[in-house]
Structure 1
Amino acid sequence: MDQIQHKFIQVQGLKLHVAEIGTGPNVVVFLHGFPEIWYSWRHQMIALANAGFRAIAPDYRGYGLSDPPPEPEKASYSDLINDLLGILDALGIPKVFIIGKDFGARPAYLFALLHPERVIGVITMGVPYMPPGRSTFQNHLPEGFYISRWQEPGRAEADFGRLDAKTVVRNVYILFSRSEIPIAAENQEIMDLVDPSTPLPPWFTEEDLSAYGALYEKSGFRTALKIPYRSWHEEFGITDPIVKVPALLIMGSKDYVFKFPGIEDYITSGKVKEFVPDLEIIFLPEGTHFVQEQSPQEVNQLILSYLGKHI
């Protein structure tokens, strides 16, 4: 961890924090999800650097050590895509592999659609490629579905505001490590779904939690609630939703995302390959939503094997 370097890059008027390790022409950019941050990729960054790759993991605008946008409520996925382009340009990097986890899969694939000349391949974890447009799985879930709750202005702010940032991250990590979708009862909030005595997952230490807590203590959750949860229906003007670059999807078989209506069939039936023709899918039988932290050696090997085939 001491070998990971930290820098700030000026992009679109903001100072964006970027963690980096390794050297050489083959570059991998990691895009985190929620409640994740650059630190989520610590195991992968070190493994890739040791294998001769240059690994870069930014904090999105409004997350961690990166500056918040002037109006967090107007933040968008388009901002994340333009920020990534700005980071690559500032570092003089022509082409990259992109690895996205959770909602980070969306900017990873959108970047490949909008800037295919800059992308060698895409790896996502926990979330498959979903073509731009309105998703409908929420229509089939109860009102207490966590995404629906967090999309409601003020609801999550009040819920999270009862706790410190570290406890919010702790609760979400526990919830998202389960195989059931987090759904609250009518008179219950999402944070109430976790009993305070519940232990952390065995692969996530108190030291890890402290690192996350400090980063979210700095950034808060204003931008994090806008992107991803309140930017879901953003339009990108993409006329051809077919991904042309090679891709890999790593899914834990116990990932709660499988329980979203239609998602398991979309992946296992191969329908996802109608949109990503050159897609390889690998399932980790014991994997949950955080496979890269739960089973780092296994995931690192899968990544390195994939990268080796496409360099």
Structure 2
Amino acid sequence: MEKIQHSHVEVRGLKLHVAQINVSGKKAVMFLHGFPEIWYTWRHQMIAAANAGYRAISIDFRGYGLSEQPAEPENATFKDLVDDVIGLLDSLGINKAFIVGKDFGSMPSYLVAAVHPERVIGVITLGVPFLIPGPSAIQNHLLPEGFYVTRWQDPGRAEADFGRFDVKTVIRNIYLLFSGSEVPIASEGQEIMDLYDPSTPLPPWFSEEVLSVYASLYEKSGFRFALRVPNR
């Protein structure tokens, strides 16, 4: 990972953390993380893209990881992330790029392409289909009452649930819960973190070392912005 270069780029009044490799590549690929993720999620793909000749870029969204927090995260929307991506492309001197998004990072990937098609060579997403942002994006009435999406949309509920544990434990619990074959659904009187089985080992692709990296960055940023975007 020593070839990856790190910097902060000021965009729309905030210093956003940017990781890059092969900055001389003629075409750029920008990777957008999900939750509970950070730029580090894409480290292997960055190296693969760079080895294929691309300028590989992975960012921490505003409010995540090593990027600065907005003054009023409660007012944030996906539009902020879209505008940040365009602002970063401008600041980095990149006219057009491939955009790769995972989990909720898929949403700004789609929206950048839809709103600014002249800035996008192509889009690759994982885990989330295209949805028009807004109240109708997720049909809550079709979801079980204890589904994590509806639980985390309730202001203060996830904060109280997460607040019972240290940051590293929260990250561990989420990865274990969402790495299984079934999506976690809480019963009445349960919270999502209550579904965690402490005897469950980490999956082979998510080591204690990797967990520590994620935890250290979420200890810095906290979950305040992360629970606003994408959940509310």
TM-score by length of 1: 0.72
Task: Determine the C-alpha separation between the residues in 1 that align with 2:195 and 2:43.
Answer: 28
Counterpart residue number, 2:180: 178
Task: Determine the C-alpha separation between the residues in 1 that align with 2:17 and 2:193.
Answer: 29
SS at match of 1:153: coil
Supply the AA of the counterpart residue of 2:190: Q
SS at match of 1:123: strand
Question: Aligned-pair distance for 1:136?
Answer: 4.5
Supply the AA of the counterpart residue of 1:112: A
Supply the AA of the counterpart residue of 2:3: Q
Supply the AA of the counterpart residue of 2:60: D
SS at match of 2:67: coil
Task: Determine the C-alpha separation between the residues in 2 that align with 1:6 and 1:139.
Answer: 43
Supply the AA of the counterpart residue of 1:55: A
Cα deviation 1:20-61 (Å, max 9, x = unaligned): 111311100000000111000011001111111110011000
Structure 2 residue 230 is the aligned partner of structure 1 residue 228 = yes
Count the aligned residue pairs.
230
Question: Aligned-pair distance for 1:132?
Answer: 3.9
Task: Determine the C-alpha separation between the residues in 1 that align with 2:139 and 2:200.
Answer: 29
Question: Aligned-pair distance for 1:111?
Answer: 0.5
Counterpart residue number, 1:71: 72
Task: Determine the C-alpha separation between the residues in 2 that align with 1:19 and 1:120.
Answer: 20
Question: Aligned-pair distance for 1:160?
Answer: 0.4
- Structure 2: 5+ residue runs without aligned partners? none
Question: Aligned-pair distance for 1:138?
Answer: 2.4
Trace 1:82-121 onto structure 2 (pairs within 5 A).
82-121=83-122
Counterpart residue number, 2:194: 192
Counterpart residue number, 2:19: 19
The match for 1:217 among 212, 216, 219 is 219
Task: Determine the C-alpha separation between the residues in 1 that align with 2:216 and 2:75.
Answer: 25
- Structure 1: 5+ residue runs without aligned partners? 231-311
Supply the AA of the counterpart residue of 1:4: I
Question: Aligned-pair distance for 1:174?
Answer: 0.9
Cα deviation 1:161-183 (Å, max 9, x = unaligned): 11111111111111111221211
Task: Determine the C-alpha separation between the residues in 2 that align with 1:15 and 1:63.
Answer: 11
TM-score by length of 2: 0.97
Is the contact made by 2:26 and 2:53 (CA closer than 8 Å) also made in structure 1?
A: no
Supply the AA of the counterpart residue of 1:118: R
SS at match of 1:196: coil
Taking only aligned residues, the RMSD between alpha carbons, in angstroms, comes to 1.0
Task: Determine the C-alpha separation between the residues in 2 that align with 1:68 and 1:32.
Answer: 16
SS at match of 2:229: helix
Task: Determine the C-alpha separation between the residues in 2 that align with 1:136 and 1:114.
Answer: 21
Trace 1:286-305 onto structure 2 (pairs within 5 A).
none
Supply the AA of the counterpart residue of 2:211: L
